[in-house]
Structure formats: structure tokens, C-alpha cells
Amino acid sequence: MKLAAIDIGSNAARLLISEVLENEKSKPTFNKLNLVRIPLRLGFDVFESKMISPEKTDMLIQTLKAYRHLINAYKVDHIKACATSAMRDASNADKILAIIYKETGLEVEVISGEMEANLVYENHVAENMDKDHSYMYIDVGGGSTEISIFGNGNLTFKKSFNVGTIRLLKNNFAESDWDEMKDNIKLATKGHKDMIAIGSGGNINKVFSMSKKKDGKPLHIELLRDYYKELNSFTVAERIVQYNLRSDRADVIVPALQIYINAMRWAGAEEIYVPKIGLADGLIQHLWEEIKNQ
């Protein structure tokens, strides 16, 4: 069975197409067939003017038309499309969603921050790791950060915070947002076993790639601090040349590191694993569970 997930975020829109292979004796296998990312950067509109501009709307429609063609070409059986923080905050979201449906036939669901945190957790990465530790998922996006905490075999905490890379770049946040995140993480991790972080999002994936670490090996918080100081010492233009970064990655990677470092520091986590999973992967898992239950 072929499944497709569309994640319309504040920084980019992603299409993930996966094939699910069922096995009677073990869990199903999810094979990625294609992953496409278009940097629409809807958050730059929304976090300044509270609405998505006609230009960005057209870019979004053209992107989703292309995604629809790919979905048809792969003969996908089921689709799930979601939008997150930027669309949650956009005053003209309903109008845009109606246009999307009319132009592409795609029904896009604007999900809550709590649902977003749930979907990241759907990847169940922590369940396969050392039971002597507790784990904190940190999913950093353009408009929000989702935190989920897993300990003693259970999900003990999940919450979405309005702290994201584009919000930090545009100064569209209050100190109280940081305080809320800090207080919640400190309270939720109190009494847990040694905490280890699990990071998702394009920025932490890029940092992991830059580190040249082998897959499955963690990054230490001190290494993240070193990258933060080093990258922050360059202009965006210099980062593009020095680190071979795309322009839409070079500006957000520094605030992303700031968020990961703070979250880890508040939780007392010294290491972060980067399994290269994200919201789109969680959407695929969620869609598969929906199909099974039906």
C-alpha cells in the first residue's frame, strides 16, 4: 500500500510518499519512495502581517498541484495533508484552504499544536531505545516547537510552544514564551531518569550531517554550542558560502540551534540523537493507524 503525507509548515511544505509492506510476524515496514521539500516560508508573511499574501498563496497552490501530480504518478492509495503554525495564525486560512481544495482536490487539515506534538511522537523512536533513560523529543519548526517526554515506558508530557525559528528571526515572540517553555520542561523532567534528547527538523538534520557523525551516534550539547557560536559569527551570506547551505537554511539554522540547546539545558540532557524523522513521517504512521482501525 502506498501512502502520502503533506506537511505545510511555516518554513517549507513537504511531500513524503511511502510504501507500507505488511508482515504477519513483525511490524510493518515503511519504505520512503520520495521526499520533496519546497521552501515556501509562509511564516515570514504570517508572523508579520497575520495573513498569507497573494504571492505566497500562489506559490503554495503551485506546489500542491505539483505534489498532486506526483501522488497520481506513484498511484498513492491514501493521502493525509496537514498545515501547522503559520496556517493556524493566518487570518485568511479558511479562504486559502478552500482555494486549495478547488484547485487540487486536497483537503488540508489545520492541526493544533498538541496534535502536532502527537504526530511527531507517532514515530515511536524512544520505544526502541535504552530503558534506563528518559527521552525528550524536540521538533523545531518555523513557527513552533513541539516537546514530548517519554519515561518508564510511557509518554508523560507533550506540548507545543510558540517558539520557532522564523518567529525568532522576525522577533515575533515574547520573553514569556521562552519562560513558559523553560518552566514546563523543568517541571516535566523533574524526577526522570537521565534525560536524552531526540531531535527532529531540517536544521538538526543539517547539523548532524555537518558533524560527520555516523548514523545512530548522538551529538553532545557542547558540540551544538560550538556550532551555534561559529555559525552566529558569520553573516547569512557567509554561511551559505562557508558551509554550503541553502539560503532558506542559512538564516534559520542559528535560531534553531538556540532552541535545541535551551530545551536540552532545561531538561538536563547532554546528548541528542537525530534519527531524521519529522512531522511527515508521523503523518504516515498516523494515516496507517487510521486505515488499520477502519
CA 42 to chain centre: 15
CA 186 to chain centre: 22
| Grid cell 551529538 in the structure block, residue | 219
Distance, in Å, from the CA atom of 137 to the CA atom of 160, rounded to the nearest integer, reads: 11
For residues 269-284, one letter each, b for 16 or more C-beta atoms within 10 angstroms of the residue's C-beta and e for the rest, the string is: bebbbbbebbbbbbbb
Distance, in Å, from the CA atom of 200 to the CA atom of 21, rounded to the nearest integer, reads: 24
pLDDT tens digit sequence for 54-95? 999 999 999 999 999 999 999 999 999 999 999 999 999 999
H-type helices in 25-132, by residue range?
42-49, 54-73, 85-89, 93-104, 113-121
Distance, in Å, from the CA atom of 68 to the CA atom of 266, rounded to the nearest integer, reads: 42
Q: How many CB atoms lie within 10 A of CB 50?
A: 11
Asked if 7 and 286 count as a contact pair (C-beta separation under 8 A), the reply is no
Domains along the chain? 2-113+280-293 (3.30.420.40), 124-277 (3.30.420.150)
Q: In this structure, which amino acid lies at residue 1?
A: M
- Cell triple for 232: 552566529
Distance, in Å, from the CA atom of 193 to the CA atom of 235, rounded to the nearest integer, reads: 40
- Averaged pLDDT, 193-209: 92
Q: List, in sequence order, every residue forming a beta bridge with 157; answer none if it has no partner.
A: 149
Banded model confidence at residue 118, pLDDT cuts 50, 70, 90: confident
pLDDT tens digit sequence for 140-166? 999 999 999 988 778 889 999 999 999
Query: First-to-last CA distance in the chain?
Result: 15
Q: How many CB atoms lie within 10 A of CB 189?
A: 21
pLDDT tens digit sequence for 244-273? 999 999 999 999 999 999 999 999 999 999
- State how beta strands 78-83 and 2-8 pair: parallel
pLDDT tens digit sequence for 222-243? 999 999 999 999 999 999 999 9
Q: What percentage of residues in the chain have a pLDDT greater than 90?
A: 76
Distance, in Å, from the CA atom of 99 to the CA atom of 56, rounded to the nearest integer, reads: 13
Distance, in Å, from the CA atom of 208 to the CA atom of 196, rounded to the nearest integer, reads: 16
DSSP helix/strand/coil, 90: coil
CA 46 to chain centre: 18
What pLDDT, on the 0 to 100 scale, is given for residue 154? 80
What pLDDT, on the 0 to 100 scale, is given for residue 31? 93
